[in-house]
Homo-oligomer: A and B are copies of this chain.
Amino acid sequence: MRFLQSSSKISQVRILAVDPGLTRCGVGVIETGVGRRVTFLDVFVIQTAPAMPLTERLFRIHEQLRTALAKHEPDLVALERVFAQQNVRTVMGTAQASGVVLALAGAANLAVAMHTPSEVKAAVTGNGRANKAQVAFAVRQVLALDDDRLLPDATDALALALCAAWRRGMASPPEGTTAAGMARTAASLTPAQQLWRDAESRARRAGSRS
């Protein structure tokens, strides 16, 4: 892992983020650079048809992710944490795709940063219940992307990459964006709010040891 080998002077950290799913699996790649800024590198959505055998769908996801990992050689993988949702079938498909991502990260000896959808939304928009359009707007603003034809799965993956970078202090939201305002708000929490936030983090960490 590049950033561990040169931990004394971190300059660039490359993050490959995956918003897992069977029908649409979003992949976004960013790099942190000079002045704690982030740069857009790549984004794409792996799509597999529901009519295709499950084995073939997961194999295709595996192969496209393997190719992306080989191409971008990230220092860190970010993965959306799956929670129980309404539809059990959707959760299963998402968890199965996550298993493929995790095994590939393990093969490459890469650490995986996991964040919930609400953590990601809060990081980029300041609102844990933001809608897809708000997340997409924030992502395009921060990464200076003028492409408004990106699928929500693509912008969600880039939002996850940004969340992973900011949460680990590898970069900061640029001034003048909603996310920068959000970061200042977080820095001025009352002691009670801070306690609550800490308790939430501990619960999340405990949840990750499954």
Contacts and interface: CB of A to CB of B under 8 A. Distances in A.
Interface of A: 22, 50-51, 53-62, 82-84, 88-93, 95-100, 102-103, 105-107, 110-112, 207-210
Contacts of A107: 59, 62
A58 B22 CA distance: 18
Given A50-B210, A55-B111, A112-B54, A96 B88 contact: no
Interface of chain A, main secondary structure: helix
A170 B53 CA distance: 22
A65 to B, nearest CB: 10
A99 B106 contact: no
Contacts of A51: 209
B103 A208 contact: no
Given A62-B107, A100-B99, A100-B103, A54 B92 contact: no
- Number of copies of this chain that the complex holds: 2
A110 B90 CA distance: 23
A-B CB proximity, top 7 nearest: A59-B106, A96-B99, A99-B99, A95-B95, A55-B106, A89-B210, A58-B103
Given A54-B210, A208-B54, A210-B50, A102 B110 contact: no
Contacts of A58: 99, 102-103, 106
A105 B55 contact: yes
Contact of A95 (B59, B92, B209): B92
A203 to B, nearest CB: 12
A59 B100 CA distance: 9
A92 B22 contact: no
